[in-house]
Structure 1
Amino acid sequence: MTAPAVLHVPATPASPALVLRPWRMDDIAALVEVSRDPGLTLWASSAVDGEAQAAQWVQTQQQGWVSGDRRGFAVREVRPGSADGRLAGSVVLKAAAPGRPVAEVGYWTAARARRRGMASRALEALTGWAFDTFGADGLQRLELLHQVDNPASCRVAQKSGYAFDSVLPASPPAFPHDGHLHIRRAGA
């Protein structure tokens, strides 16, 4: 098990600083709020409906840290004078473990955080942390998957150094549409 981490991403001229930290139960109200966005429910499998589902989702993220199966981070938009600002999204590292050469990353963003460079900055921070944390244990490649009809995710992947690799065929019911596989290798 890797201890939960907190990652800090400095502000840019166009975007505020970000804090990536493990999900907490006090994130539930913000998670419910951002999950009402139709754009999020269209692309993300993590959208929730109501406080009970949000609490269960947060508990699953916390359990992922304990088991080592997944390391989910709430992405918080930090404004001057605030230590832990508004929820801007989520990034996750899945299946990273000693001796495993491949792991998967994923992300989603709140509507107010889109088109501001936050997703790519958060993904880049997660990527660096993943290779720093698991590279010595054999992590060589990170994979990012998204639906083929989601050009915004393609842009985020490419901006974050994840090269397009291939089209993956649909696998209903979990993956009803074809997908894109993007890859980032250690040292790239």
Structure 2
Amino acid sequence: MLHAPATPLLPELLLRPWRDADADALIAAYHDPVLRRWTRAPVTTTAEAHRFLAAASRDWADGRRFSFAVLEPSPGGETLVAQVILKNVTADGDHAEVGYWTAAPARGRGVAGHALATVTDWAFARFAALRWLDLMHQVDNPASCRVAEKAGYPFQEVLAARPPFPRDGHRHARWA
């Protein structure tokens, strides 16, 4: 479990592995058409949510992919506001990749960048051989460019479209 403390401009966040009890919140987040636009595998049913959560649990156990539910404290407990994922990790590999999405009610508040920076710091501390992290997104997603820059991932290059991505992409990177 990771904790991103509140700052004068950013909310307090709790980052933890996904749990079975997150299924309803996960489905609710994917009701957002903007999130579905940028996601290759939307979660819209209970069965899909359980598959997603089971895969996230297996990935943590495997040690190559770490998917964090990002929660914000709320009067009723905690509210799911985002996901951040660290993927393609190998025991002595020098690079890996990060990705994220933000739930609609949390967009524009700095949640994605705050959570991404927290996972980035965790990754560099946990994996001694890790030297850099890549963040990729499609060229027509300027919001992801802003999040990447705010989290310390400067733009590196344009990547040519290739399946399953229909458009060219941007690669951002952050070094340890």
Q: TM-score of the superposition, structure 1-length normalised?
A: 0.90
Asked if the contact 1:17–1:79 (Cα under 8 Å) also holds between the matched residues in 2, the reply is no
Match of 1:156, SS?
Answer: helix
Match of 2:152, SS?
Answer: coil
Superposition deviation, residue 98 in structure 1: 1.9
Superposition deviation, residue 81 in structure 1: 7.8
Q: Where does 1:21-170 land on structure 2 (aligned, <5 Å)?
A: 21-79=16-74, 82=77, 85-134=78-127, 136=128, 138-170=129-161
Q: What is the alpha-carbon distance in structure 1 between the residues aligned to residue 146 and residue 76 of structure 2?
A: 32
Matched-pair identity in %: 51
Residue of structure 2 in register with 1:10 after alignment: 5
Asked if the contact 1:68–1:95 (Cα under 8 Å) also holds between the matched residues in 2, the reply is no
Q: What is the alpha-carbon distance in structure 1 between the residues aligned to residue 49 and residue 55 of structure 2?
A: 10
Residue of structure 2 in register with 1:3 after alignment: none
Match of 1:96, SS?
Answer: coil
How many residues end up aligned between the 2 structures? 176
Q: Which runs of 5+ in 2 are unaligned?
A: none
Q: Pick closer, same or farther for the CA change 1:46–1:109 going to 2, 3 Å.
A: farther
Superposition deviation, residue 11 in structure 1: 1.6
Kindly report structure 1 stretches of 4+ aligned residues shifted beyond 6 Å.
none
Q: Deviations over 1:69-126 (max 9, x none)?
A: 20000000113684xx100010000012221001000000000010000000000000
Supply the AA of the counterpart residue of 2:124.
F
Superposition deviation, residue 159 in structure 1: 0.5
Q: Which runs of 5+ in 1 are unaligned?
A: 1-5
Q: TM-score of the superposition, structure 2-length normalised?
A: 0.96
